[in-house]
Amino acid sequence: MLQSVPAIREARRDDIPALAHLHVATFKETHGRFGAPTYELRERQWRAAFEDDASWFCYVAEDARGELVAFAKGTPHDGGVPGFAGELNKIYVLRQYHRQGIGRRLVAHVARRFLDQGVGSMLLFGDARSPSNGFYERFGAERLLSAGGGFHGGYGWRDLQGLTVPSGSAQPRA
């Protein structure tokens, strides 16, 4: 069932409880329940992020009832992979909201924020076996290969301009 189009906005400190619940729920949907982090752990992590580190940013998607249904977090890249300055540290969308353009919109917001900060590239680290990998590839991410040629779940965008979208646009600019 198609949901109303969620609004995208920056995460706020008062979102911490909802972000923690969303993070646990989407993690379980994506990776399974075995070894999933607890609400208490995620709440503590989000609280620490809001209190200690101003270098990151997070966008959330909020449905018509004000419930968070997705989030994406951007951070500076630590330099471990040369050629990338930003990191799409996390992106999760509740399964019932997949295939509605929310993930695309979140990635575009993260890319725009990085560009506004003078950061022109970003990468992400995921699971090499994840079905979500097709999402990244559809938006132009290149697979980052190890020195031996193996793929371990890293993706990168060397030019974020192609990921930004004008308000209301259905597709990223090519």
Task: Please check whether residue 91 lies inside any domain of the structure.
Answer: yes
d(CA 120, CA 131): 26
Domain-embedded: residue 139: yes
How many domains does the chain contain in total?
1
For the chain, where are the alpha helices, taking DSSP H only? 16-31, 39-52, 102-116, 133-138
Q: What CATH number did the domain enclosing 67 receive? A: 3.40.630.30
- Residue 107: give the domain boundaries: 7-163
Let me know if residue 18 belongs to a domain: yes
pLDDT given for residue 174 in this prediction: 29
Domain presence at residue 138? yes
Any domain includes 137: yes
Residue 32 falls within a domain, yes or no? yes
Residue 95 domain-assigned (yes or no): yes
Q: In what order do the strands lie in the sheet with 68-76?
A: 7-10, 57-62, 68-76, 86-93, 122-125, 151-157, 142-145
pLDDT (0 to 100) of residue 165: 56
Show pLDDT as tens, one digit a residue, over the chain (174 residues). Answer: 455 778 999 999 999 999 999 999 998 988 877 778 899 999 999 999 999 878 899 999 999 999 999 999 999 998 889 999 999 999 999 999 999 999 999 999 999 999 999 999 999 998 888 888 888 999 899 999 988 998 998 999 999 998 885 444 333 322
- In a domain? residue 46: yes
The label of the residue with tokens 């503590």 reads 44
59 φ, ψ (degrees, to nearest 5): -110, 145
